[in-house]
Amino acid sequence: MKLQRKNRLRATALGALAVSGALVLTACGSDDNTGSTGGSGEKTNAASNIKCDDAKGQLLAAGSTAQKNAMDLWVKNFQAACAGTEVNYQAIGSGGGITKFNQGQVAFAGSDSALKPEEVAESKKVCKGGQGINLPMVGGPVAIGYNLEGVDDLVLDAKTLAKIFDSEIKKWNDPAIAKLNPDAKLPSTSIQAFHRSDESGTTQNLGKYLNTAAPADWKYDPKSKSWPAKGGQAANGSSGVVSNVKGTDGAIGYFELSYATANDLNTVKINTGAAAPVEATTENASKAIAAAKVTGKGKDLALSLDYATKAEGAYPITLVTYQIACDKGNKAETLPTLKAFLNYAVSEEGQKVLEEADYAPLPAEIATKVREIVPTLS
């Protein structure tokens, strides 16, 4: 069952482009470090079309663990194409990344949630003459992964999830879970709910979903990046949560879909009120992201997602992960590499490599806006 599910996820990942309409297929990446100069004078890698321009030296970044697998792909391809560059991304959580960015320790931060007003204000101390802006780079579903012997297909809704993560539902054969899964043989196993110990945009996105879709059962601050509920067990980063869920019968947790796929974990289907429960796939996440609205001003492209969607096939627990950079006031020595790397990440080629990693590429309209803004960073 798990192998069939994994193959199905891979197949839906390949179909994500048709939903988002974001990409046109381009040449594959290469480890060839030879560069050539295009007609516009830009230094490019002949095989991959990655534009290196004046990129050189080390680029430090930190933040979201949800985007780590995407970053690993981008960094590998970028460094192979652009000789003499090194992109060092520390996956320490969105909150930690924003802190490092606002302290001037990194050139950009990865975050699964947009900057808060107070964080924007703080960024002005580092971004001389400018401020930190949110640049969407990739999307994907926040999977609810579980490990329950004998149960390979599980449906939950917002109300039930809220009570599980708030320690109100403690057994897998609870009547509320049984009602949603009439054909499942649910054991009396105790539920072991795992959450993030670090400040996390993934935590915040889950909280926004629960607070929006089940407000009577999840009354915590939806803006919090720290885990707000009582009980449960904490683990550091998405890797820590998925490791504990995989190793514990009766466990449940939340993490970006690629972590579930890589660890061959089953994921919960969400009863949203649509005709059928919705599976956590990149295709279903793309349906939700395509309806997102830009709420940022100027060069800021912060997005607002509809966590209460009942649209057919739209997976509601979806995040858009951002790279946060200064619109003005970037350090002169790292600016060329920053722009070249972000240009690659949001390019058609950079988005294409996400297909196999269970991420949802940006919808065309949003990707186009990011591509227009990155070259203007100064």
pLDDT level of residue 35 (50, 70, 90 thresholds): very low
The per-residue pLDDT for range 67-119, each reduced to its tens digit, is 999 999 999 999 999 999 999 999 999 999 999 999 999 999 999 999 999 99
Q: Taking residues 331-346, report their average pLDDT.
A: 97
Over pLDDT 90: what percentage of the chain? Answer: 80
Return d(Cα 77, Cα 114) in angstroms, integer: 27
Residue 23 in tokens: 């990409």
pTM of the model: 0.78
Which is it for strands 85-91 and 57-63: parallel, antiparallel or unpaired?
parallel
Nearest to 324 by CA among 71, 87, 102: 102
Nearest to 46 by CA among 68, 59, 27, 20: 27
pLDDT at 350: 95
Instruction: Classify 25 as helix, strand or coil.
Output: coil
Q: At what angle do helices 282-289 and 2-14 cross, to 10 degrees?
A: 40
Could you give the residue ranges of the DSSP H alpha helices within 230-302? Answer: 237-246, 257-262, 282-289
Burial class (CB in 10 A: 0-12, 13-18, 19+), 179: exposed
Q: Taking residues 165-184, report their average pLDDT.
A: 98
- Where do the domains of the chain lie, and which CATH numbers do they carry? 14-140+322-376 (3.40.190.10), 141-287 (3.40.190.10)
Residue 124 in tokens: 């002005």
pLDDT level of residue 139 (50, 70, 90 thresholds): very high
130 Cβ contact partners less than 8 Å away, ≥ 6 residues apart: 124, 326, 327, 328, 329, 378
* pLDDT of 135 higher than 50: yes
* pLDDT of 36 higher than 90: no
In this structure, are residues 55 and 37 in contact, taking their beta carbons and an 8 Å threshold?
no
Place of tokens 């599976």: 279
Return d(Cα 300, Cα 266) in angstroms, integer: 36
* pLDDT of 7 higher than 50: no
pLDDT at 291: 85
pLDDT at 298: 93
The per-residue pLDDT for range 39-53, each reduced to its tens digit, is 333 444 434 689 999
What spatial distance separates the first Cα and last Cα of the chain, rounded to whole Å?
Answer: 51
* pLDDT of 180 higher than 50: yes
* pLDDT of 30 higher than 50: no
pLDDT at 375: 98
pLDDT level of residue 241 (50, 70, 90 thresholds): very high
Which run of H or E residues covers position 68? helix 68-81
Residue 28 in tokens: 């594959």
